[in-house]
């Protein structure tokens, strides 16, 4: 929609008040170039501003049109200005609800544009809404934030803000603060040559007067009111002039100068009628009615009462509308507050949730970190323990090797006595036969001298026989020593074809004599039943020897134990039987000793298991025997009846 | 005079037979041999009327020389046969036990045959 000059002019003429205010030169300049939307928009804004204190309806209409154009032109800045104007007009109308809505919309746009000049004005308007709602704290907050916006050349806006703050403090009853701000505002205004600035001077002066009046300074108050009226009339703020007249009338009435009061009330009334301000009309009418009544001029009194009631009615209806609007607005504000509280709660919940989440996350992180640390620690510990275990295992292995060696040495010790006896006997024979041969050779020489050939031959035969005996027993001793050395050797020997029967017999004797040597009381009979079919098989002789020695020793120990517990009729007996069964050789060692308890029989091949008192057995004998037989791919089994005896069967494959 | 030699070593028989070759030839000594204590007792049982001198080893499988000694001294109280112990272990314990059981003499291996012959002479003549 385009405005042409004529159109504008019609509007201007239609409003008679405009003629008094409009700066015709400026308007003309404006309208002359008013061909574009933007120019029309500016015109509407200007007109709206001019009409704001003259005609609300016109003012808001222009503001609305400006807003529509600003939307069309997509000008954020003009949208904000239009909205602010609409809010300002509605504030004056008392439509606080709608006013605040527009003002806040404008505020958000202005904030985004960072338009500090209009923000200052906007803040003042918003503060005005809250002041009207008697929400002094919020009002003061907006006034002060408006005041705090740094802006050079903003004296007018600054003066308005200071003035409004003064009025706010007056309403709050804080007279000193009110006086301070009002005086400050007047100081600024008095420096302004600006017409718009001076237009509000009577308002500031009215406030100042009221402050002084409340402070009891009636004379000065009256002076301020009079000055206000003068300025108001000069700069066309008639409403302010009317209100100041009423203030003067009020002063006179209080001091009992009813005539003077009447004169000023009448002046106020005339202006109020002119500006059609029902509030002022009502107040002024009230003065006039009271005056005429006191003068018994009832007609006039009645007339002013009628006018006053009409004004009051309109004021009341206006007031009522305003009240209802404000009520709904307050309700809305309350709901807004509730919503805000809810939002805040939601936000707080969000924040708390976030914080809680964060705390949980941090907790989880810490937990994980701790877990990780612990895991690392555990790993380190595990590694350490593993190393220690490995070390311990190595030590154990070394110890085991040592133990095996010491077991060998221990069994060697057991053997020693037997060996001593076994060696002693052949040595005795060697010595005896050798000695005897010496004698026989002497005899031989004697017989030779005699020439007794028969005797000579007989003696020579004896010598030869003895020589064979010496040789035999020498070899016997040699074999025993070699066996002993083999037995004590740490490394296992090599497999070689071994006469199992001879081995079984040799170690049986070693065992027997060993035990005899150890314990004089020990004795037992033994029998052997060797199968000639057994022959030679590939074994490590000293290893199998050790197995046999262990089993023999145990057998002799068992029969000896039983002998100690039995009467003289008990014949301790250990019998050794060899047998060839297919491709295996079976060596059976049977004794009639004490037997092995059932609960122990399963454990006898376990390492370090021993029934002997501490120090007497290593507990490794049968365990080692078991291992040795296993390395020969053989088997060692045991059958035992407690009290009756034990049978060990060693089976070794021939191949 | 019968001399019973008890020893589990077979060659002991040969040794005695050779050492006492002259005595055997001249009929001064008559030897019997047993390989174990049990065999010795059996022999004594079968030849209980003979006056016997016993030379016994101690360390034998089955019945030991000391056991044999004990048996003989208990069983054949009158007249108790002369029992001489011969052992490879010339230790005091064996010696004391033997003497306690009533052994008439105690010799250690290797046997000093000169000494043995002298002792036998004293025993036989005494």
| DSSP codes of every residue in chain B | -EEEEE-S-THHHHHHHHHTHHHHHHTS-EEEEESSHHHHHHHHHHTTTS-EEEEEES--SSS-HHHHHHHHHHH--SSPPEEEEEES---HHHHHHHHHTT-SEEEESSP-HHHHHHHHHHHHH-
CA A339, CA A333: separation in Å to the nearest integer? 9
Measured in whole angstroms, the distance separating CA A579 from the mean position of its chain's CA atoms is: 78
State the pLDDT confidence band at A608, using cuts at 50, 70 and 90: low
Mean pLDDT on A152-156: 72
Of B101, B106, B108, nearest to B66 by C-alpha is: B101
Tell which A residues from 552 to 591 touch B, by Cβ distance under 8 Å.
none
* Among B61, B63, B110, beta carbon nearest to A512: B61
* Among A421, A435, A462, beta carbon nearest to B59: A421
Q: Is A636 helix (H, G, I), strand (E, B) or coil?
A: strand
Residues of chain A above pLDDT 70, percent: 84
CB contact under 8 A, B19 and A462: no
Angle between helix A76-93 and A56-72 (nearest 10):
160
Lookup result for tokens 């105690």: B106
pLDDT digits (tens, 9 = 90+) for A294-346: 888 888 888 888 888 887 777 666 666 666 666 666 666 766 777 777 778 87
Tell which A residues from 43 to 72 touch B, by Cβ distance under 8 Å.
none
Q: Is the pLDDT assigned to residue A646 strictly greater than 90?
A: yes
Chain B contact for A111 (CB, 8 A cutoff): no
Is 3.40.50.300 the CATH number for A1-110?
A: no
pTM, to two decimals: 0.40
Mutation for testing the B interface, residue in A419, A420, A428 having most B CBs under 10 Å: A428
Q: Can you read off the two tokens belonging to residue A69? A: 């154009």
Give pLDDT, residue A414.
Answer: 62
Give pLDDT, residue A648.
Answer: 95
Mean pLDDT on A286-290: 89
Distance from CA of B81 to the nearest CA of A (A): 24
What size, in residues, is chain A?
Answer: 655
Please confirm whether the linkage preceding A277 is cis (ω < 30° from 0): no
Q: Can you read off the two tokens belonging to residue B59? A: 């360390």
A524: nearest CA partner in chain B = B62
* Between A598 and B83, the higher pLDDT residue: B83
CA A61, CA A45: separation in Å to the nearest integer? 10
pLDDT digits (tens, 9 = 90+) for A485-527: 666 665 557 888 999 999 999 899 888 888 887 777 788 899 9
Residues of chain A above pLDDT 90, percent: 17
Query: Domains in chain B and their CATH numbers?
Result: 2-89 (3.40.50.2300)
Q: Can you read off the two tokens belonging to residue A36? A: 């574009």
Q: Can you read off the two tokens belonging to residue A591? A: 């004794």
Of B117, B11, B118, nearest to B57 by C-alpha is: B11
Give pLDDT, residue A483.
Answer: 67
Chain B contact for A466 (CB, 8 A cutoff): yes
Q: Which of A12-26, A116-130, A599-613, B46-60 has the lowest mean pLDDT?
A: A12-26
pLDDT digits (tens, 9 = 90+) for A40-72: 888 888 888 888 776 777 888 899 999 999 998
Average pLDDT of chain A is 82
- Extents of the domains making up chain A: 1-110, 340-484, 496-653
B95: nearest CA partner in chain A = A520
What is the architecture, at CATH level 2, of domain A496-653?
Answer: 2-Layer Sandwich (3.30)
State the pLDDT confidence band at A541, using cuts at 50, 70 and 90: confident
Mean pLDDT on A545-556: 91
CB contact under 8 A, A524 and B61: yes
pLDDT digits (tens, 9 = 90+) for A78-134: 999 999 999 988 887 777 788 888 998 899 888 888 888 888 889 889 998 888 888
Give pLDDT, residue A597.
Answer: 86
Which residues in A lie closer than 8 A to residue B109 (C-beta atoms)?
Answer: 424-425, 428
* Among A432, A472, A524, beta carbon nearest to B111: A432
- For residue B83, what are the β-bridge partners? B54
CA A306, CA A300: separation in Å to the nearest integer? 10
Q: Is the pLDDT assigned to residue A451 strictly greater than 80?
A: yes
Chain B contact for A262 (CB, 8 A cutoff): no
Report the phi/psi class of residue A615: left, alpha or beta, with left for phi > 0 and alpha for psi in -120 to 50: left
State the pLDDT confidence band at A577, using cuts at 50, 70 and 90: very high
Residues of chain B with pLDDT under 50: none
Distance from CA of B24 to the nearest CA of A (A): 15
């Amino acid at each position: 929609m385009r405005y042409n000059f004529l159109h504008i002019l019609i509007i201007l003429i239609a409003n008679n008040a405009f003629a008094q205010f409009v700066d015709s030169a400026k308007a003309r300049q404006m309208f002359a170039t008013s061909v574009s939307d933007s120019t029309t928009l500016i015109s509407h804004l200007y007109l709206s501003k001019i009409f704001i204190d003259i005609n609300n309806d016109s003012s808001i209409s222009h503001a609305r049109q400006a807003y529509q154009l600003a939307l069309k032109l997509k000008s954020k800045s003009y949208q904000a200005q239009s909205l602010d104007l609409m809010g300002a007009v509605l504030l004056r109308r008392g439509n606080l609800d709608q006013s605040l809505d527009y003002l806040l919309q404008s505020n958000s746009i202005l904030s985004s544009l960072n338009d500090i000049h209009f923000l200052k004005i906007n803040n003042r308007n918003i503060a005005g809404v809250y002041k009207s709602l008697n929400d002094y704290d919020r009002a003061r907050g907006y006034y002060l934030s408006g005041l705090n916006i740094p802006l050079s050349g903003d004296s007018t806006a600054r003066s308005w803000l200071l003035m409004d703050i003064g009025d706010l403090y007056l309403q709050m009853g804080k007279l000193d603060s009110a006086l301070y701000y009002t005086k400050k505002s007047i100081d600024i205004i008095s420096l302004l040559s600006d017409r718009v600035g001076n237009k509000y001077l009577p308002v500031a002066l009215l406030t100042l007067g009221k402050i002084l009046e409340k402070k009891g300074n009636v004379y000065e108050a009256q002076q301020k009111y009079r000055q206000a009226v003068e300025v108001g009339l000069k700069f066309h703020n008639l409403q302010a002039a009317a209100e100041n007249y009423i203030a003067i009338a009020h002063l006179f009435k209080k001091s009992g100068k009813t005539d003077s009061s009447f004169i000023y009330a009448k002046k106020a009334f005339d202006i109020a009628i002119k500006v059609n301000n029902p509030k002022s009309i009502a107040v002024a009418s009230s003065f006039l009615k009271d005056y005429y009544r006191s003068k018994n001029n009832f007609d006039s009194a009645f007339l002013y009462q009628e006018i006053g009631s009409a004004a009051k009615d309109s004021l009341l209806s206006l007031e009522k509308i305003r009240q209802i609007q404000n009520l709904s607005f307050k309700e809305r504000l309350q709901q807004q507050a509730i919503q805000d509280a809810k939002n805040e709660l939601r936000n707080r919940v969000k924040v708390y949730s976030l914080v809680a989440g964060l705390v949980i996350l941090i907790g989880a992180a810490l937990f994980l970190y701790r877990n990780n640390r612990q895991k690392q620690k555990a790993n380190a510990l595990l590694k350490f323990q593993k190393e220690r275990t490995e070390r311990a295992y190595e030590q154990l292995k070394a110890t085991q090797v040592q133990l095996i060696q010491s077991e060998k040495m221990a069994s060697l010790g057991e053997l020693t006595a037997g060996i001593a006896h076994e060696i002693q006997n052949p040595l005795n024979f060697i010595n005896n036969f050798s000695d005897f041969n010496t004698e026989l050779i002497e005899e031989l020489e004697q017989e030779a001298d005699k020439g007794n050939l028969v005797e000579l031959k007989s003696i020579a035969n004896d010598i030869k026989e003895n020589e064979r005996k010496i040789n035999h027993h020498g070899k016997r001793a040699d074999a025993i020593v070699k066996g002993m050395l083999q037995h004590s050797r740490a490394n296992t020997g090599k497999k070689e074809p071994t006469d199992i029967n001879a081995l079984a017999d040799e170690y049986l004797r070693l065992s027997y004599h060993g035990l005899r040597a150890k314990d004089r009381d020990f004795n037992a009979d033994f029998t052997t039943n060797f199968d000639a079919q057994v022959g030679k098989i590939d074994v490590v002789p000293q290893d199998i020897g050790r197995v046999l020695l262990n089993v023999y020793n145990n057998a002799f120990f068992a029969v000896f134990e039983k002998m100690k517990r039995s009467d003289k009729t008990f014949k301790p007996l250990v019998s050794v039987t060899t047998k060839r069964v297919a491709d295996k050789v079976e060596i059976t060692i049977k004794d009639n000793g004490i037997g092995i308890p059932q609960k122990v029989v399963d454990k006898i091949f376990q390492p370090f298991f021993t029934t002997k008192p501490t120090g007497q057995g290593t507990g490794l004998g049968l365990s080692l025997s078991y291992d040795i037989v296993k390395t020969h791919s053989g088997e060692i089994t045991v059958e035992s009846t407690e009290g009756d005896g034990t049978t060990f069967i060693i089976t070794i494959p021939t191949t | 005079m019968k001399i019973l030699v008890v020893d589990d070593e077979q060659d002991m028989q040969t040794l005695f037979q050779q050492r006492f070759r002259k005595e055997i030839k001249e009929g001064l000594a008559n030897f019997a041999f047993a390989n174990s204590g049990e065999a010795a007792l059996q022999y004594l049982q079968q030849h209980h009327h003979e006056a016997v001198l016993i030379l016994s080893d101690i360390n034998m499988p089955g019945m030991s020389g000391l056991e044999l000694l004990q048996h003989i001294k208990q069983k054949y109280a009158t007249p108790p046969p002369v029992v001489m112990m011969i052992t490879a272990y010339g230790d005091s314990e064996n010696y004391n036990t033997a003497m306690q059981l009533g052994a008439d003499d105690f010799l250690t291996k290797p046997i000093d045959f000169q000494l043995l012959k002298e002792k036998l002479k004293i025993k036989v003549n005494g």
